[in-house]
Amino acid sequence: MSSTTSSSQAPLPDRLNQLKIQDSDENEIDRPSGTSTPGAEVGIVLGRSTYPKGMNPKLRYIKPYWWPYKTHVKQRWIGRQILEVITTEFRDRSMEYYRHALESGVTRVNGVTARPDLVLRDGDRIDNTVHRHEPPITNDPILVLHIDRKKEFVVISKPGSAPVHATGRYFRHSVLEMMESDYGIKCYSVNRLDRLTSGLMILALSGKAASRLATEFAQGKVEKEYVARVKGIFPEEEITVDQPLLTVDRQMGLVIITPEGKEAVTIFKRISYDAERDQSVVRCRPQTGRTHQIRVHLQYLGHPIANDPLYSTTEVWGQDLGKGGVDLTPAAAGTSRMAALQARVGSAAPIKKTVDRDHDDIDLTSPILLSEQARSIISKLRRQKDEAEDWIKWKEVIFTAKQAQDELEGSQTQSQPTSTASTDPSDGEIQSSDPHAPSPLKAPAYLPPGFCGECFVPLPDDPDPETLFIYLHALRYTTPDLGTWETPLPRWAGENWDGDWRGWCDGAVMKDVLKEDKESQRQGQQEKGTLD
């Protein structure tokens, strides 16, 4: 999208129309969570990924809602300006967006309005209200495989694209929330799967059961088996990778192989090879439970997961796709995390320099000195994410609208949205939401089509459902206490895959566990009533 070059004296609607924003007929559809529009039945199927916004039958949507919560300052934030913390920690939107949001006065620290240059101190409490626009996820339901009310656990198959817990922009589109909203089952997590990973999970029905089962996972007593679709011809012989892993960038969740990392061991065995796509289906047995373990170990072998957006793009990793790991020689320009922290902590004076979204916090967030290659990879991943989020729309539409309104009113206005410190709700003290709360923001003089009518931010296009998950599926767990549980083989793991990623191999049909559970509970209540 090109920059705006029209005169500041042009009428406001005309100036904004020159920005080539979305057509006005592509408005967001108000649709309850967990529902989709049967586009095929009403004749709107125009081809792949061409459904009108909010109408893709492969996606699950939820109406945006206001959400107030509070969180306390973390140790790594102490001594840093709030704008810098928000920009580098959360990266949900651009630095310019957060600056204007803070200047609108909707964020408070210890009950006092927080401005962009406020320096955070130990013990500070941040209060914030956001209009949550949860991204859509795939419309695949959570499959309930087994419910044991006596032992207080549930076995499910999680769809790819849904996180287990509330995190980042996701809250109601999380497994624990959907289990309660869709099935009326209050669950507690025992183990985690990456948001992009599908497959078997064991959930507890009480906090006590969760603690007991989580101990088994933590102690390595649970045998796990996954299946993945990877690039290239994977070797036929069984291969064991024992390379240690370390997370070096929190914002992107990037994990690399380095001696400073934690012990990690994975055993791989090829199941089949797809010559048409030049991809292999591989059985994966992790012997440890590290973050991104299977994904990084497969990349190390030169066979990353075929559609992995983090570890499988040549634009970021080069033609060898990270085979053999990254260079570990520290960059000459790099500084240690301790030095980076010391440069920021203890100064009450505002930090004048502008945050560099590519490089400013790379050394700060990494626990080790990084090589030039590692720093370059992190920068490329961040830019790739920014491009996918369409930052140019924020700069050239939202803030042009704000500037134009300020000119018309002759003074600073509060036309920006309330999304500032978008902290992970699992880290903060979440307050109850009020979906009917009126907008605390003043509406702009002109709201272009394609923008939210509550918080006045541009509404993103629907994602392609096939980019919301990766070809990695938790297939089987064996526990000392609960026995062995497994899902059918996902359709994309079949030897003669037809390209449709939904469903199971050989058309496997699962029994209605929820119906059986309701009937069992009904009979139990009748027997109890008879005894009483």
Q: Per-residue confidence at 455, pLDDT binned at 50, 70, 90?
A: confident
Look at residue 253 and tell me whether its pLDDT is greater than 80: yes
Least confident of 53-67, 329-343, 487-501: 329-343
Q: Do the strands 143-148 and 483-486 form a parallel or antiparallel pair, or are they unpaired?
A: unpaired
pLDDT at 180: 96
Beta strands at 153-158 and 223-231: parallel, antiparallel or unpaired: unpaired
3 state DSSP class of 274:
strand
Neighbouring residues of 524: CB distance < 8 A, sequence distance ≥ 6: none
- Non-local (6+) Cβ contacts of 264 within 8 A are 241, 242, 243, 244, 245, 286, 288, 290, 293, 297
How much is the pLDDT for 333?
Answer: 66
pLDDT, residue 305, reads 98
Report pLDDT for 226.
98
Annotated active-site positions, please? 194
Q: 24 or 88: which carries more pLDDT confidence?
A: 88
Local confidence band at 458 (pLDDT 50, 70, 90 cut-offs):
confident
- Helix/strand/coil (H, E, C) string of 97-118? HHHHHHHCCCCEECCEECCCCC
Q: Determine the pLDDT at residue 119.
A: 94
**Dihedral sign for Cα atoms in the order 304, 306, 309, 313:** positive
Closest CA to 300 of 280, 275, 321: 321
The per-residue pLDDT for 222 is: 92
Question: Which region among 137-146, 254-263, 355-364, 495-504 has the lowest average model confidence (pLDDT)?
Answer: 355-364
Highest mean pLDDT among 233-237, 370-374, 391-395: 233-237
pLDDT at 47 over 90: no
Task: Check: CB of residue 68 under 8 Å from CB of residue 431.
Answer: yes
What does 413-445 look like in DSSP terms, one character per residue? Answer: ---S-S------TTTSEEPPP-TTPPP-SPPPS
Predicted local confidence at residue 16, as pLDDT: 31
The larger pLDDT score, comparing residue 272 to residue 26, is at 272
Please tell me the predicted confidence (pLDDT) of residue 223: 95
Using alpha carbons only, what angle is made at residue 315 by residues 309 and 316, rounded to the nearest 5 degrees? Answer: 65
Pairing between β-strand 266-274 and β-strand 198-204 as defined by DSSP bridges: unpaired
Once rounded to an integer, what is the mean pLDDT over residues 213-226? 91
**Percent of the chain clearing pLDDT 70 (strictly above):** 72
Q: How many angstroms separate the Cα of 30 from the Cα of each of 50, 389, 462, 493?
A: 19, 22, 14, 35
- Among 231, 247, 245, 352, residue whose Cα is nearest residue 294: 245
Per-residue pLDDT for 355 more than 50? Answer: no
Judge whether 288 and 296 are in contact, CB under 8 Å. no
* DSSP classification of residue 56: -
Mean pLDDT of 86-112: 76
Instruction: Please state which of the ranges 241-245, 348-352, 359-363, 498-502 shows the lowest mean pLDDT.
Output: 348-352
3: pLDDT strictly greater than 60:
no
CA distance 309 to 381: 9
What integer pLDDT is reported at residue 510 of this predicted model? Answer: 82
pLDDT of residue 145: 95
CB 202 within 8 A of CB 216: no
Question: Which is more confident, 56 or 413?
Answer: 56
User: Which parts of 77-184 are beta strand (E)?
Assistant: 108-109, 112-113, 125-132, 137-138, 143-148, 153-158
Higher pLDDT pick, 338 / 251: 251
pLDDT at 97: 67
Query: Taking 80 as the threshold, does the pLDDT of residue 404 lie above it?
Result: no
Looking at every residue in the chain, the average pLDDT score rounds to 78
Q: Is the pLDDT of residue 33 over 50?
A: no
What pLDDT was estimated at residue 71? 86
Encode pLDDT of 175-212 as tens digits: 999 999 999 999 999 988 999 999 999 999 999 999 99
Q: Which residues of 234-271 are buried (b: 16+ CB within 10 A; e: fewer)?
A: beeeebebebbbbbbbebbebbbbbeebeebbbbbebb
